[in-house]
Amino acid sequence: MQFCSLSFLYMFLPMSVMLFYAVPTHRRNLVLLAISLIFYSMADNMWLVVLLLSICFDYVMAGLLEDYKSSQKYSRIIFLIFAAKEILMIIWCDMMHQLRGMPIPVGLYVYTLTSLGYITDLYKGKIEKKDSIVDFALLCCFFGKIFAGPLVDGRDFIDQLNAKKRSLSTMGEGVVIFVRGFAKQAILAAGMHEVYEQLQMLNDGQITVLSVWLLMISYTFSLYYALSGFCDMARGLGKMFGLELPRNFYYPFQSRTVQDFFSRFNITYVEFLKKYVTNPLGREYGGFWTYASSTLLLNVLTGFWFGINLNNLAWGIYFTVFILIEKYVLFRWIPKIPPMFLRLYTFVIVMLSFTIFAGENLAQTAEYLNAMFGVGGMPFSNNSLLYIIAQHWAVILLSFIFATSITEKVNRFLNKYTPALSNVLSVVMNVMVLVTATALVV
C-alpha cells in the first residue's frame, strides 16, 4: 500500500481517522500503533517481523542503558552493541540489495536512525528515562513518516504523543499539507517521471544537448517531488493525528549557495548527521582540515541516504569541493553577487550533481556530462525533444513554479490584504487539487 493508492486514500485513511478519534484518549496511542503496524504489513508484510524484532531489541537496549546508567563502562558497551546493530543492519540490507537484488525493507533508514537518535540521547543523558514500549514503537514506525521521514527528535515526538493536542482546525491544517503532498506526488513527480522516461527512450541519434539537460531536470524534479511529497503527506497525516512533524524540504532549488542547498534539502537527515556525527567531531569550531573532513563525511553520508554505492560517494565528494570553495574562496564575493545569479549558479551545480545520481556508474555520469556540454559535436536540439516538451509543457512549467516560493508568497500576500478571499480560495483550491490528483491515480 502506497500513500498515493486508492486503498490508502479512500479506505485506510478515513477508517484510521475514525477509529483513532472513536476510542478513549488514553487508548489512542495504542490504536495509532496498531494502525501503523497494519499499514506496514500492507506496505511490506515481508519485513514486518524484522521491524518488530528491531524495535523490541532497541527497547531492551534502552532498558539496559537505563539500568546500567551509573556504570560508564557497561553503558558504553551496551550503546556500542546497539549502534553497531543499527549501522550493520543498514549496511547489510543495502549490500544484499545491491548484490542479490533483495528489496530494502520499507522505512529501514527511518526507523533505525530514529531509534539510533533516541538511544544516543538516552545514553548521553539528554533523555532521562525511557518511555513506554508503545510510545517508543510509535516513534520508530508511525505510519505517516515510515516511507521517507522526516526524521524526528525522540523526546519532542513522544511529548507530543502524550500532549493530546488535537482539534478540527489542526486537522484542517493537516489536510492542506497532506493534499499538497499528494498533488506533488500524483501530478508533479509522476508527470516529471513520464518526461524522464520518454527522454530515456530516445535513441542515440535523437539525443541532443538540451534533451540531456531536460533529462537531468526531470530526474531531479521527479525525485524531489516524490520525496518532498512523501514528507508533506507525512506532516499532514501527523497533524491529522495531532502530531507536529518537522519540515524536510524548504525550496532547495532556490538556494543561493551549495551550502544553503544542504540546509534546505532533506533537512531532518542533514540535521541528524550534524547533531550525532559531525558536530561531535568539532566541525564548526575546528580549522580547515577538521571542517573539510567533517564536511566530506557529512556530504557522503547524505548521499548514502539514497543507497551506499560509489556514485553516491562521488556525489558527496563533489558537493564538498563546492562547499569548501564557497567557504574559503568565494566568501568575499558571494554577498555582492545578485541573488538571481547565485540561484542560477546553485541550480546548475545541483543539476550537474544529479548526473552522478542518475548514472548507473561513473562512466555513464561522464557520458551525461559530455552530452550536457555538447562534447563530440552533439546537436543542440531537435524535433523529438520539441515534441516531448510540447507534450509536457504544463507539468514542466508547474514543476519550476512550485520549486520556488512564489505561490507561498502570493498566498501570504492575499492572506494579508484579503484574508476572506484567501481562505475561500484555499478551500476551493484544495478540493480541486484533491479531485485532480485522485483522477490521476484512479
Q: Determine the Cα–Cα distance for residues 269 and 113; give it in Å rounded to an integer.
A: 9
Q: Which residues of 267-282 are buried (b: 16+ CB within 10 A; e: fewer)?
A: bbbbbbbbebebeeee
Residue partners of 123: CB distance under 8 A and separation at least 6:
65, 75, 79
Our finding on whether 414 is near other proteins (CB under 8 A) is no
442 scored as a contact of other proteins (CB under 8 A): yes
Q: Where does this chain touch other proteins (CB under 8 A) — which range of 11-19, 246-254, 292-300, 406-414?
A: 11-19
Q: Is 438 a binder of other proteins (CB under 8 A)?
A: yes
2 or 160: CB nearest other proteins:
2
Binding of other proteins by 7 (CB under 8 A):
yes
Q: Which of 45, 71, 404, 407 binds other proteins (CB under 8 A)?
A: 45
According to DSSP, residue 25 is labeled: G
Out of 200, 381, 418, 423, name the contact with other proteins by CB under 8 A: 423
Q: Count residues contacting other proteins (CB under 8 A)?
A: 50
- Name the minimum Å distance from CB 218 to other proteins: 14
φ, ψ for residue 435, nearest 5 deg: -65, -45
Binding map of other proteins across residues 157-196, x = CB under 8 A, - = no contact: -----------xxxxxxxxx--x-----------x-----
End-to-end C-alpha distance for the chain, whole angstroms: 14
| Chain residues 390-409 in contact with other proteins, contact rule CB under 8 A | 390-395
Q: Which residue has the cell 564538498?
A: 320
Decide if residue 49 touches other proteins (CB under 8 A). no
Residue 116, number of CB atoms within 10 A of its CB: 21
* Min dist. Cβ of residue 366 to other proteins (A): 27
Q: What angle do CA 53, 58, 62 make, to 5 degrees?
A: 150
Q: Is 48 in the site for other proteins (CB under 8 A)?
A: no
The answer to the question of residue 321 lying near other proteins (CB under 8 A) is no
In the complex with other proteins, which residue's Cβ is closer, 5 or 364?
5
5 binding other proteins? (CB under 8 A): yes
What would the grid cell of residue 222 be? Answer: 521527479
d(CA 351, CA 261): 12
Find, among 328, 320, 312, 261, the residue nearest to 293 by Cα.
Answer: 320
Closest of 262, 261, 245 to residue 253, by C-alpha: 261
> Given candidates 206, 263, 290, 411, which one binds other proteins under the rule CB under 8 A?
206
Quick one: 361 or 423, whose CB is closer to other proteins?
423
Rounded distance between C-alpha atoms, residue 400 and residue 404, angstroms: 7
The neighbour count for residue 309, using CB atoms within 10 Å, is 17
Does 432 bind other proteins (CB under 8 A)? Our answer is: no
Q: Is 433 in the site for other proteins (CB under 8 A)?
A: no
**Binding region for other proteins (CB under 8 A):** 1, 5-7, 9-11, 13-15, 17, 42-43, 45, 168-176, 179, 191, 206, 383-384, 386-387, 390-395, 419, 423-424, 426-427, 430-431, 434-436, 438-440, 442
